[in-house]
Structure 1
Amino acid sequence: VTPALPEEIYVHIFSYIDPADLWLSTRLASKTFNRIIESHLQLSILPFFQISISYNLGGSRWYDVRTRVFLSYNALDQSRPQYALFDKFEIHPEPYHGRALEKWKRIAEEGVDPETKWMVQLRMGNPRLCDMQNVKLSRTILSAEGALCDWKELFSAYFR
């Protein structure tokens, strides 16, 4: 069924529907809805996503240091538009920033296991109230500068 209204009207209507409902059900209603909703979510929701991964920095004989690297969305990759570039780093705990970045570069060179669990958060409104999902992002590509994440895989994993 071809929609009878202009796309702008549908985009306006879709802005009042929960993104999870749009992704999981409404976009499946027709090819036209799929195209409109994917474009809408890509422009209005994707910029609020943050992905993170934690790893062990090692330490000494008596302690271990675990760090978490948070990556915020920057833009769609120009050469591969199905991939979103997450390259705004935030590292916790802050005193281990240098060591964590060195380890990140080593992990990026070696590659990450497709079964690795990522923490994904949609940071709209109060970040403390935003759900954080533990998901697999098997098509994520790491580099020293950040991560390229298949944004459709990200939506499907987060809005499950």
Structure 2
Amino acid sequence: MTEFTPYLSLFGGTLIGLSAVLLMAFHGRIAGMTGILASLLPPFSSDWTWRAAFIVGSIVAPALVLMSTGQAIGYASPVPTPWLIAGGLIVGVGVYFGSGCTSGHGVCGMARLSPRSIAATAIFMATAVATVFVVRHVLGGF
């Protein structure tokens, strides 16, 4: 069963969009998480400070929610850890060959009406739908 939280989802989506707009307005950069994170690995980017702040903010924000509301942001996965690791590696390969991730293409690229980002996001979504179908109905899992 999936928990449907329209108000929390709307609020979270609004914050993601706002952060993407502010990053573009103040730094002229696209908020693609994998690009931001990759630039923090050697060889370091010359503009690493805002990138580090962005990643730290992404990690600290849930802790602030917990401290201010007392409500933890729940996460549980019925998927075994090796499958999660394999999935992460597959996504990493896709990000590399797709020249970006869902945040860069899906949030920022589609907002700019980039044909490449629209195509990439359509492929992301179709792959997600196919994966859920195969795992749930063909493999009979999770």
TM-score class, shorter-chain normalisation, is: under 0.3
Higher RCO (CA < 8 A, seq sep 6+): 2
- Structure with the greater alpha carbon radius of gyration: 1
Structure number with the higher helix fraction is: 2
What TM-score, normalized to structure 2? Answer: 0.22
